[in-house]
Chains A and B, each alone.
Chain A
Amino acid sequence: MRTRLLALVLLLLLGGCSAGGTRDDGRITLRFQSLAWQEESVEANKQLVREWNATHPDVRVEYVQGSWDSVHDQLLTAFEGGEAPDIVHDASDDLADFAHGGYLADLTGLLPARLTSDIPRRSWETTTFGNGVYGVPFLQEPRVLIANATWLRRSGARIPTPEQPWTWEEFRGITERLSGPGRFGVAWPLKEPVSATLNLSLSAGGQLFHRGPDGKVTVRFGAAEEVVPRTVHAQANTDRSASPTTLGSGGSDTLPGFFAGRYAMVPLGFSYRQQIAQQAPKGFAWQVLPAPAGADGLIQGVSPQTLSIAEDCRHKKEAAQFLAFFLRPASMVRLALGDWMLPTGRQALKDPALHRHKDGWDIGTALAEHLRPAPAQSVRGYPEWKDKVATPAFQEYYSGAIGIGELRRRLERDGNLVLARYQR
């Protein structure tokens, strides 16, 4: 909070402080700040930078290690101070402020057709703000169900596949069947309930944010938006098939209970498989299942990881060339494998390594075509709506403190007041 405040004040006071960025000592040097943090991923990133430097003596790329933990504040301060890296790794839901603030270069016309046509239109939408494209979406992850395979098999429940997923209703019934004294069919890690709920709600057709003919966005919490919250609420409060203690937990916090046989399933991001593969006790059998489907099938929202070029970068053409090199299909596969995520590129998605049954790669890859931009990421005022209105409202609803009517009232009435301030 304090750092955010600091960054905000810096934004107000340091505007136009100075320029800087790219260094140029005869040959071009580009600074690339990567947020890769897992061992294999860091190695894949560094290796690709080495390969670029070996084949492009005139344009040297310098690898700079960043951190997801503080990236927004660090980048905002760096942009304002004219010290930003030339190439920036981030996530699409963090780009809106930077794009609207003029800190990122519009990539339209800079990237080769090979790259722009390889990444689907729906992925490009996550980095398109106004008329400009401010990042290349390159890695993404669906939310999946990680299940205790032995427990599930013994229950006799139908195993869902991407072709025949569970419906939300079926999912509720199965978690109830799997539950018993001290054992729960599912453990929802809902420390951040808003993005999980909104992204999964797309499967039932729940958009929540509706843009009117005047271009203004309003919140409408209708029947389609209610499907996922009602299911979770019922599991936690009526059926007692969802652990009430994990509702405030992060994904990693649910794993010890999952390994100990307390929870049959945990809805997690696809990349959590790395942690599970590493930490699961010997002999523990787990499997990846698609998240339940609604009226709109398996569709769900995602905020892909992105690579952008700073507006201050003096060598945008060369930086774009590096992006094209860095995101060749084979490289995208290496990056995806390193991060246990999915590439956005169609060519990369065809790679056999991403279709292996082991560790559930095949399930995730089959879900790729169903991924859409997270509903809220281009909505101005979304962060404030999320923090002040939606997060406490969903937390109280899932814990049973308020009912669906009160949840709707808060999301719509309080929420629209917040959004209206940003759309005057």
Chain B
Amino acid sequence: MRTALPARAGRYAALLAYLVFLAFPFLWLVSTAFKPPRELGSLHPTWIPEEPTLDNFRQAFAEQPLLHAAFNSLAAALAAAVVAVLIATPMAYVLARRRTRLATAVTGWVVVSQAFPFVLLIIPLFLVLKNLRLIDSVPGLVLVYVVWALPFALWMLAGYVRAVPPELEEAAAVDGAGRVRTLVSVTAPLLAPGIVATGLFAFITAWNEFFFALVLLKTPEKQTLPVVLTHFIGAEGVADLGPLAAAAFLATLPSLVVFALIQRRITGGMLTGAVKS
């Protein structure tokens, strides 16, 4: 059935408006990052810098250990993503395949935990980390990120597992494949998009996280990128706008690159998880 032209045009216009809405802050950030101070103080700012400069980047790198902080963020976020996926995948499989009362209760608990206030989670975590002497340590931070990301990752992955028809596993069993072989050769490849999407979610959550890192890490050499970015902000909210924009632009790059590289897989994964056959 063909959709009427005005309706289609309206839909594209809405889509375009949404894209502009999403892209605006990022494009403004990029524009600001390349502007000299005088243009930042203009009443009529332009999208394209009139006198583009790299000085903001130079200043940002000179003033703050951005590369080191980015490395810390990357290490923490990657570790958190890998650990979260490693824990969530088998749990999600069991939750999705075993229709027991316990599985239903656990799923319900995971959903409810998402509605818990932030403060209820951080306090037990802080106490545990304190006792384990994991304050001011990247492994401690990774542990927090894993705990923070795990409920949603589990819930998300369980949806993907449910979308894999159990008949495929039964067919493999009929053909003589054992339990492990079935999981590795049949189920895991079908779950790959879901695992990637879940890992990405955990990665982005950890990469952008600020307050845990601020509270838990004391040593300057261990600070992550979001914490270092606040060093460009002064008293009463006055900011060193150019270098801040330059550093923030660099901080968004890894997320953009990762998304661009695996965008198709995520889209496929999202659809797989969303629709039940």
Instruction: Using CB atoms and an 8 Å cutoff, list the residues of chain A in contact with chain B.
Output: 2-3, 5-6, 9-10, 13-14, 17-18, 31, 35, 37-39, 42, 63-65, 67-70, 74, 77-78, 81, 83, 85, 91, 192, 250-252, 255-257, 259-260, 262, 269, 271-272, 275, 278-282
Distance A9 CA – B42 CA, assembled complex (angstroms): 43
Main secondary structure of the interface of B (DSSP, over half): helix
- A251-B42 Cα distance, complex, nearest whole Å: 15
Q: How far is the CA of A74 from the CA of B212 in the complex (A)?
A: 10
Q: Which residue of B lies closest to A35 (CB)?
A: B235
Of the residues B45, B122, B234, contact of A6 by C-beta under 8 Å: B122
Other than the given A37-B231, A78-B218, A262-B43, 17 more pairs (CB < 8 A) read A6-B118, A31-B218, A37-B234, A39-B59, A39-B63, A64-B218, A65-B220, A65-B228, A69-B237, A74-B215, A77-B215, A250-B238, A251-B236, A275-B238, A279-B38, A279-B40, A281-B38
Size category of the binding interface on chain B? 35 or more
The segment from B103-111, B123-131, B143-151, B164-172 that touches chain A is: B123-131
| B230 interface residue (CB < 8 Å to A) | yes
Name the distance in Å between B122's Cβ and chain A's nearest Cβ.
6
Contact between A256 and B42 (Cβ–Cβ < 8 Å)? yes
Decide: B42 and A259 in contact? CB cutoff 8 A.
yes
- Measured between beta carbons, the chain A residues less than 8 angstroms from B241 are 252
* Cross-chain contact A10 with B235 (CB below 8 angstroms): no
Asked whether, in the complex, the Cβ of B127 is within 8 Å of the Cβ of A17, the reply is yes
**Given known contacts A10-B123, A81-B126, A81-B135, A67 and B230 CB-to-CB distance under 8 angstroms:** yes
Q: How far, in angstroms, from A74 to B231 measured CA to CA in the complex? A: 14
* Interchain Cβ contacts under 8 Å between A and B, 16 examples: A5-B119, A6-B122, A6-B211, A14-B126, A18-B130, A63-B220, A64-B220, A65-B220, A68-B234, A83-B136, A252-B239, A262-B43, A269-B236, A271-B238, A275-B41, A279-B40
Instruction: Please name the residue on chain A nearest to B230 by beta carbon.
Output: A67
Q: Give CA–CA (A252, B244) in the complex, Å.
A: 15
CB under 8 Å from chain A, chain B span 213-272: 214-215, 218-220, 223, 227-228, 230-241
Q: For B210, give the chain A residue with the smallest CB separation.
A: A70
CA gap between A263 and B41 in the complex, in Å: 14
B59's nearest neighbour on chain A, judged by CB, is: A39
Minimum distance in angstroms from B132 CB to a CB of chain A: 12
